[in-house]
Structure 1
Amino acid sequence: MDMDKAKWRGNWQVERVPETGSTNADLLAGVSLEVPHRYVLTTAFQSAGKGRLGRVWEAPSGANLLVSVLLRDVAGPLHRVTQHLGLAAALVLQEKYGLRAGVKWPNDVVVTIPRDGADVDVKIAGILAQAAGNNVVVGMGLNVKWAPPPEVADATCMVELVSAVDVPEPIDMLDMVLARFDDVSGLDERESFALYRKHLHTLGKQVQCEMPDGSHVVGRAVDVGADGRLNVLDECAVTHHIDTADVMHLRLA
């Protein structure tokens, strides 16, 4: 595919730009303008992209999928959009590339790989959704050909996991993810939530949750609610309902 601005299957209107500060910021600015529903902005290079807690990163130009989507008049909660996009990416990685991909609460896509005699979940994509009234801009950075070095983040990319001849171009990965996003979003609420729970790698794991105030909750992730909160059972048999946290999957000794 080589289109700078075009309508794709599913009536996605996709614009490609060589460089920008942040695709999320650009589309949030477009909410008050006449940028239409299902508008997609993707770039080869992003100089001020942000993740949760304001984290900033820069991938080499053209290496990864850097994209944001504008959805207008969204009826459901913000977390549902995040769940659907993460699930869509995980399903593409599973079905097309045979990777053991899933979702890490609240908004990462991870791949399970062997390391030091055990299976570990390593990040391959991150998602950030931001609301503007009833409109949602949801952005994703998916590591296709580059991942941050180990001293920066515990992450991987597709080029490290699949045969070189099978590694897609970022724009082709976008086409597959958007199609799968439509599939997931088209399910009724109960079906989509069940599918999300099935592929939520955090469930059943021993986790450490770093709370916004700096405190920590450690325990086993036993469930996720329809409200998006993670339920963590600590060693005192107290269940914590987590709204917002950085979550680490712990390895059992």
Structure 2
Amino acid sequence: MDRVKGKTAIVTGGATGLGFAIARRLEQEGAKVIITDVDVTRGKEAAGEIGGLFKQQDVASENQWISLIEQVRGEFGKLDILVNNAGISGPVQNADPESTSTDDWERIHKVNGLGVFLGCKHAIDLMRQSGGGSIINMSSIAALVATPFITAYGSSKAGVAQFTRSVALYCAQSGSKIRCNSVHPGQIRTEMHDSLLDETAELMGASRDDVENDFKSRIPMGYFGEPVEIANMVLFLASDEARYITGGKFIVDGGMELGG
């Protein structure tokens, strides 16, 4: 129960889904957790449930990142863990390369890409002053396996994976003792995933069960993962157990990438 004891952690998009599972797992292992989210009501509920703090944040706003880091500096004096989890998937319909709107493309990249860039940019200095730390950027299996739909999402997550490697190399070569890794979830049961199944069923004129079975058929292990499985990977990367690991891509997908 003390794998990250005494560490201070920020988890963006921590009100629900993967973010909340990650925040709860870090808290269970001794971290002081600051949850950020655009959803104030659910964010406060999530923070209250785990005994953490909540701050409303649009991750695509540089001013809000500056404010958050200064608040953490003032209240805790250090930052050990940053989990850049906040993200959006965008619509399923009209999401292929030919049909995706410019507005959707920019909106998805702004949250998923710019948000991660800003988080790393503004966390590094405080982490360096704290003696080092761990940055975990949430990418996706969509960064590694091409799809003819949700193309903006896949592109944004591929950018996260490559940017993670750049941050890892920069931090290692500068001697900051900051590690940076990306996590690539596959089909994980969350509200976002449920919405994807619902939208796909509606688009295809198929039943929800048929769509779910079709999705599962593409996973060698044959079933959807649970948020805690992603949280456990993040916990490992956040802990000192992973002190010699940086710039890695950690796939948690039931073997989905193997099948393409």
Query: Hey, which of these two has a bigger chunk of strand by percent?
Result: 1
By relative contact order (CA 8 Å, sep 6+), the higher-ranking structure is: 2
Question: Normalising by structure 1, what TM-score?
Answer: 0.31
